[in-house]
Structure 1
Amino acid sequence: MTSSQFFYDPLRVQLLDELKQVYIKLASSEQDKQDLVISLDATTEHGDLLTRELLNKLHEFHQQLECFEQEKQNLYRDKADLEISLATITETTDLFQQELINNRYHLEAEINKRNQKLELQNQQLQKEIQERKKVEAQLHLAASVFQASREGIIITDAHANIISINQAYTDITGYTEAECLGENPRFMTSGKHGNNFYQRMWASILTLGHWSGEIWNRRKSKEVYPAWLSISAVKNEVGEITHFVGIITDNSLQKRSEEKIKQLAYYDALTGLPNRLLFQEHLTQAIKRAQRENHRLALLLINIDGFKDINDALGHPVGDKVLCYTAKYLTHILEPETPMIARLGGDEFTVLIDNLERIQDEIEIAAQIATRILSNLNHAVTIEGHEIFLSTSIGIAIYPQDGTELSTLLKNVDIAKYEAKNKGRNSYRFFTKNDNAEAHKRLTLQNALRYALEREELFLCYQPLLETNTKNIMGVEALIRWQHPSFGMISPAEFIPLAEESGLIIPIGEWVLETACRQSHHWQQQGFTPLLMSVNLSVRQFNQPDLIDRIIKVLQRTDLSPNWLKLEITESLAMNCATKTVQTLKILKSLGIHLAIDDFGTGYSSLSYLKQFNLDILKIDRSFVADISTENDITLVTSIIKMAHGLNMQVVAEGVETEQQFDLLRANGCDYVQGFYFYKPLVEKDITKLLAQQESGQLINVSSASFF
């Protein structure tokens, strides 16, 4: 609805209503006129009787008609006036309405313009509000980060005076904000950095705008600690420095972790000595330095004799303590003379001797140190109630004559160590070029030995044991031999150490035991007088947890009575783990098996343990028999015989090769003899012939016996 319509329509409606009433009245008059005409026509038809009445009525009608006509004319005039008024009003209304429409258009255009402007202003205001909120959020976040940060934050003015710190900075340094405000951070310096350090730091800050690095500071508690510090310069719009911001991280835990990682990576967890990795790095650097400065190095590789046997017999906890004892002892007797003592792994330790100018010096000093180690580590030690006899074997290699690279030196010193062990242990040996050939042969034999059993290259010989007074054969000792298809007959002294080192001694030893027992029972089945079958037990065999069960099963499989089996162990084996030896020997003795200690006099024996071992036979080592020609040696052998008899043991002398030796042994009460003077080791068929001749009373001539 327009504005003109809003103001004039009520009047227009009124006029229209009045005009409508006029039309209604005119319509009514016309209707009355029609009624009168009808009535007049009707009266005429009825006659004169009604004439008078009709005339009266006609007169009245004419009067009324005149009135009506007059009223009609008035109504027409009113109608015309109304129509004129209505037209005037309509025209006026239209004009006013057009004006209102025009005004409305301009007004609406202005309103739209203002609305657009207000909308734009509103959008700008909303954007400013959002930006302000974002800035406020950032400020709030920055404040929260500042206080909640785990890194210490310190803010100074342009003169490096502290104006703010966060809580983490207090936690790290121990200083509160009140104690720091206005102070220069230099009051927390540790004294571990010189002036040059700080000069370089500030030069970087002032030129590059930042610096970061590790720094050592001092806490309020006076503790010096490592930290990682980052400093940035804050500049205004014209590039002037207004503040410095430092972020500090306490690296104490990281340093401790790094030290722990370094300890785990470079040091042996058990002994605390440098490990193989650190030793190799140190040796590599020493080689480079020796090349550069033209001097020499000596490398000693130390191995604990029989360590695996200690582990097998007494368990790894005892073995670990032996290693710790050895490491501590080496450190005690060698530091600070040697630059490095390390544990390479297992029971191997190494000593590096550095910075010697002449090879004579290197060899002499290496020999002196090796001798000192051997002498100091050649004794009994009690660990967890077990008396253990320690000894070592040492290989020595010299740079540069035995190798100019780390791998070559380590290989050659290992070869030298093996040769030292192979030559009787408790000794040292310098590497020689011939050792390389020996090492190659040893490796070849070790590989071939793995197939020797299944290829039936191994066989047994038997060396008779004679009663001294009657010279009758009372028993035999089973001795293993190896007939290699390429290398020929290989000495037990060559392949037995290889078998022990590789672990093949276990199946080989069990094969020897079963083969010997079966042969002994077979001779009994042939009707020969039963013989005492002697079998040597290796260290690894003796230390097997199920040794007793294995022996019982062998006896059951071969049907040999335990009374006809004699087991021999070496003196060093018996004394190495004496406590366990006593227990094992006691069980074997209860089964009826005879027990002997072999190579007596070559090791370290305790008379108290010899008594506890409850042995049947003591075998004097061939080295004493060979030198029995002198008075002192006769006295020594005689003392051994008397001691053994005093402990209720019989005595066997090994290695009897001359009549003089035999006569002296018999004269001094030796019970049995064994050696080349009578018989060398014989194969089964020759022993069978020998036994047959003994049964018939005709001993075979020694010179005609076949032997190996």
Structure 2
Amino acid sequence: MTTYALAENAVILLALCWLLAFNTRDWNQHPKLSAKCLAGLWFGSACIFGMMIPTAIHTGLVFDARTVVLSMAGLFGGPLVAGIAGAMAAGYRLWLGGIGTIPGLVNILLAVVLGLAYRRAYRHGLLGLGFWPLLGFGLVLHLGVLAVLMLLPQPLAWETVRQAAVPVLLALPLATAALGLLLNDLLERSQTEQALRFSEARLRAITHAIPDLLLVIDEDGRYEDVICSKQSRHHDDAARLLGRHLHDVMPAPEAHRLLAFIQQTLRSDTPQLIEYTKQTLSGPKVFEGRALPLETPAGSKRAVVWLSRDITERINSELERRIAAIAFESQQGMLIADAESRIIRVNRAFTLISGFDAEEAVGQTTRLLASGKHGPEFYRAMWASIVNTGAWEGEVWNRRKSGEIYPEWLTISTVRNAQGDISHYVAAFTDITDRKAAEEHIHQLAFYDPLTDLPNRRLLLDRLQQAMAASCRSGQLGALMFIDLDNFKNVNDLHGHQTGDQLLCLAAERLSQEVRASDTVARLGGDEFVVMLERLGADPEHAATQAEHVGVKLLASLDKPYRLGELSLHSSASIGVVLFGEDDSHSEELMKRADMSMYEAKLSGKNALRFFDPHMQQAVQERLRLEEQIREGLKAGEFVLHFQPQLEQTRGVVGAEALVRWRHPQRGLLTPGAFIGQAERAGLIQELDIVVLKQACEQLARWAGSPRFADLTLAVNLSAHLLYQEHFVDRVLELLEHSGANPARLKLELTETLLLDNMPEAIARMNQLKEHGIRFSIDDFGTGYSSMSYLQQLPLDQLKIDQAFVRGLPDDTSSLTIVRATCALAAGLGLEVIAEGVELESQRALLLANGCHRFQGYLFGKPLPVDEFEHLASEYATREAVPG
């Protein structure tokens, strides 16, 4: 066997495959079944042809380049093409028979499989189609081919490998690379040609879809090309332009102007614009031309591409609009009166506005229009201005013929004769009823809430300022009540904002019905209302009693169910109250105090009323200080993770729950109870959640590098703020990718109440993460109210029994019943179940007896720093199972 003979065989097959790719180069871009079958037949025929002129070492052993052809059929043609070609090659090899039949068939299968594997790796971006990757692939393939020869009987196998190794490894990998580059080049060229054809067709469709004329005019003014849709009204004009000169189709002065414009365009790099008039078959038209220099071959005349648009209708429309504008400007009511104010002439607008015909008005005095709303002083001042200055302008109320009183803007000018005496008065007036209505509407928008028609914050502050000033003068105290509806967000989330708006309107009505007409009910926005009570007396205790009485009535009214169609909704309220008139506090300070009081009512359990207490302000300042420290702690990296072990009955420590701790510079290590609530109120919980999730992913990545901890999972509690964030899924996947953590080792713990906020959205986001291997656990299971139907839809892996039920074991029969039901439910749904808060051996034994095999609690370990946790996990690893 010689390298030359094998190379000759490979070259012949390369030529056949090139002929295939050249004649059917679109089969990979248009994967029709017939094209695929044809390609498979051609590749198979090439293999058969190669086996007809083989290089032989021993009788029955056939050496040819079919592995090159079949691997490229798999790479470029896919399973169908490779399958057909492989089947044909295998069939022919069986027909040939001989001692090498089995290795030959295995080599056919090996070439097809490796070609398809290369195709998959290329589509996933793992391998390219350059010379070196193809050469490397060919080398791997044919090393496999030589390995398959070991299936021959000994010592023939070793002798065959010895003779075939050098020719095979010298000729066939190069042939593989050459055929791969050849096919790739032809297919890429086919794609480029197809893209060019598509681009040309697309450009042709666009140009024919343009309703305007598209022209190419050379520097001498000759029409070289005219493109116009057949449906265009310019089609007939376009047909007679091609090959003609500008001087042939328009007057000489216009032609000279357009030639100058063409020269200007050729000297410019930006589009040029011109308007011109041209005689067409349908008469003279005004056109707008947009021109841009066109690239032309060297040695040919320069030209421009010209888009010609008929703007005749637009010009006429603009002219009509100008005329209409002038007419509109003169649409004022006008009258001319003599020196005795007797009307002698009116225009049509006068009749339209006032309702009086010219015959009815002429001869009457201007008192015909008087409304009676202005007193003698008004008219004396008006006439004094007319006499002294010759004019007067202002707003007056006049009367129409129907008796309707309307506002108008009136301008009166005097006309004097040659002697300087007043001979006539000219009055022009405009009906401003709409303007007055607009002003009232603007006032309404500026000072009233558009949803409830209650005063808004601006009007409330103005009234509060006036009430405080009145209290200082009279000594009468007042009260400001800040009201916030409880759990209103759930109404919007579950029933939509339209339902929420209806509930707000009903709440506004109830508030207005429970206070005096002299009191103020305002809406600040969202679900926040303010009630201002005035004249509550001079005694602070008496004033507070009255305010409390009103507040209790408001709480009772707002606590009643809201009926909205078939819906029955409930939303109680929290009220904060502050008295005013005792000190010189300004309005904004009072609003803050009332807001603080309302917040205290929320903290006390909602549906409550609280008065402002000076100690309250100190507490608020402490909370604000804590908020700032949290911000600084997040920037300084003071928040760290502790890990509470999670055990499985027979495997020991299988993971941990990540619990955040704060290394406070002054207060030491703080548990979540000291800062989580304030982080939520300050809107920092999302940032803190991301910090926890980031550290958890990084820890998982570090554990992955240690055989002792590589199998540990890490559970992270997830807040509603983060779950429903717009880019939550992307951020989680980004953290996993950046850290290199295994998603299957991350377990996100969700609470039932969190999922209730928007169950369908939660399910959708959980499914997205589940596709990447992330696991989910329901935390505090049994304390919420989620239905079993939703539980079936949730992509869960684990239920976590709340420590409130574990704590009651083994004596509390209710807790035991819930634990048994939870374990049975988990078993029925195929979910893991884990119990938290396990502190006693008796609790662990009872849980184990009821099917719970995973535990977490102080019995096994408290939350620990990572090094202590790893030490504890290593100790458990030396035991065969949890003690007991």
TM-score class, shorter: 0.5 to 0.7
Of 787, 792, 795, the match for 1:614? 795
Q: Which residue of 2 aligns with 1:437?
A: 618
Aligned runs of 1:149-160 on 2, under 5 Å? 150=332, 152-153=334-335, 155=337
Which residue of structure 2 aligns with residue 287 of structure 1?
Answer: 468
1:173-214 Cα shifts (integer Å, max 9, x gaps): 2222222345566665668x4xxx535545656888789764
Q: Cα gap change, 1:645/1:374 in structure 2, threshold over 3 Å: closer, same or farther? A: farther
- Aligned 1:456-495 pairs, distance under 5 A: 456-466=637-647, 472-495=652-675
- The letter of the residue matching 1:579 is P
Distance in 2, matches of 1:652 and 1:398, equals: 49
Change (3 A) 1:222 1:622: farther
Q: Does the 8 A contact of 1:157 with 1:163 survive in 2?
A: no
1:542-581 pair list within 5 angstroms: 542-581=723-762
- The aligned amino acid for 1:575 is L
The offset of 1:535, in angstroms, is 0.4
Judging changes above 3 Å, is the alpha-carbon distance between structure 1 residues 337 and 271 closer, same or farther for their aligned structure 2 residues?
closer
Question: Residue 198 of structure 1 is aligned with which of 355, 365, 375?
Answer: 375
Deviation at 1:566, TM superposition (A): 0.9
**TM-superposed deviation, 1:587:** 1.7
Contact map agreement 1:310 1:576 (CA 8 A) in 2: no
Mapped pair 1:351 → 2:530: yes
* Bigger helix share: 1
Distance of 1:695 and 1:403 partners within structure 2: 70
Tell me the number of residue pairs that the alignment of Structure 1 and Structure 2 aligns.
Answer: 538
Q: Is the Cα contact below 8 Å between 2:781 and 2:800 reproduced in 1?
A: yes
Matched residue type, 1:360: T
- Partner SS state of residue 682, structure 1: coil
Residues in 2 aligned to 1:257 and 1:402: alpha-carbon distance in whole angstroms: 41
Shift of 1:227: 2.5
Aligned partners of 1:205 and 1:232 also within 8 Å: no
Matched, 1:415 2:600: no
Cα 1:166–1:604 shift into 2, 3 Å: farther
After TM superposition, the structure 1 stretch with the greater mean CA deviation from structure 2, 683-692 or 256-265, is: 256-265
Give the direction of change, closer, same or farther, for the CA distance of 1:243–1:322 in structure 2 (3 Å limit): same
Structure 1 position 521, deviation (Å): 4.8
Q: 1:591 to 1:455 in 2, by over 3 A?
A: same
CA 1:555–1:213 in structure 2 vs 1: closer, same or farther (change >3 Å)?
closer
Range with bigger deviation, 589-598 or 636-645: 636-645
Any idea what SS the aligned residue of 1:225 has?
Answer: strand
2:408 and 2:430 in contact (8 A); partners too: yes
Letter in 2 for 1:355: E
Distance in 2 between residues matched to 1:517 and 1:380, nearest whole Å:
49
Distance 1:271 1:331, change over 3 A: closer
Aligned-residue identity in percent: 34
Alpha-carbon distance in 2 for matches of 1:375, 1:448: 41
Q: Which residue in the other structure is 1:366 paired with?
A: 551
Code of the aligned partner of 2:696:
A
Instruction: Say if 2:573 is the partner of 1:396.
Output: no
Match of 2:875 in 1: 693
8 Å Cα contact 1:152-1:249 kept in structure 2:
no
Task: State the shift of 1:581 in Å.
Answer: 0.9
**Please, what is the CA RMSD of the aligned residues?**
5.0
Distance in 2 separating the partners of 1:539 and 1:352:
32
Identify if the C-alpha distance between structure 1 residues 659 and 305 changes in structure 2 by more than 3 Å, giving closer, same or farther. farther
The structural deviation recorded for 1:565 is 1.6
Q: Which has the higher contact order (CA 8 A, sep 6+)?
A: 1
Letter in 1 for 2:698: R
Q: Is the Cα–Cα contact under 8 Å of residues 342 and 350 in structure 1 kept in the other structure?
A: yes
Per-residue CA deviations over 1:34-87 (Å, capped at 9, x if unaligned) read xxxxxxxxxxxxxxxxxxxxxxxxxxxxxxxxxxxxxxxxxxxxxxxxxxxxxx
Q: In the alignment, is the contact (CA less than 8 A) between 2:551 and 2:609 conserved in 1?
A: no
3-state DSSP of counterpart to 1:450 = helix
Contact (CA 8 Å) 1:303, 1:349: kept in 2 or not? Answer: yes
Q: Which residue of 2 is the match for residue 69 of structure 1?
A: none
In 1, Cα distance between equivalents of 2:544 and 2:410: 51
CA distance in 1, matches of 2:468, 2:368: 46
| 1:510 has 2:690 as partner | yes
2:630 maps to 1:449: yes
Match of 2:866 among 665, 677, 684: 684
Q: CA contact under 8 A between 2:482 and 2:531: conserved in structure 1?
A: yes
Q: How far off its partner does 1:534 sit?
A: 0.7
Change (3 A) 1:610 1:187: farther
Amino acid of the structure 1 residue aligned with 2:514:
E
Partners of 1:576 and 1:685 lie apart in 2 by 38
Q: Indicate the residue corresponding to 2:478 in structure 1.
A: 296
- Give yes or no for contact 2:778–2:800 (8 Å, CA) kept in 1: yes
* Structure with max Cα Rg: 1
Question: Would the alpha carbon gap of residues 283 and 156 (structure 1) be closer, same or farther in structure 2, given more than 3 Å must change?
Answer: farther
Q: CA–CA distance in 1 between the matches of 2:872 and 2:338?
A: 107
| Alpha-carbon distance change, 459 to 205 in structure 1, aligned in 2, over 3 angstroms | closer
* Conserved 8 A contact 2:524-2:530: no
More off after superposition, 301-310 vs 211-220: 301-310
CA gap of 1:658–1:431, structure 2 versus 1, over 3 A, is farther
How far did 1:584 drift?
0.6
| Distance in 2, Cα, partners of 1:424 & 1:177 | 75
Q: Secondary structure at the match of 1:535?
A: strand
Q: SS of the residue aligned with 1:462?
A: strand
- Who is 1:258 aligned against? 439
Q: Which runs of 5+ in 2 are unaligned?
A: 1-328, 537-542
> Which shifted more, 296-305 or 606-615?
296-305
Matched with 1:328 is 505
Deviations 1:254-303 (A, max 9, x none): 21332343244334567766443233223333434455551422322437
TM-aligned CA deviation for residue 482 of structure 1: 0.8
| Distance in 2, Cα, partners of 1:614 & 1:428 | 42
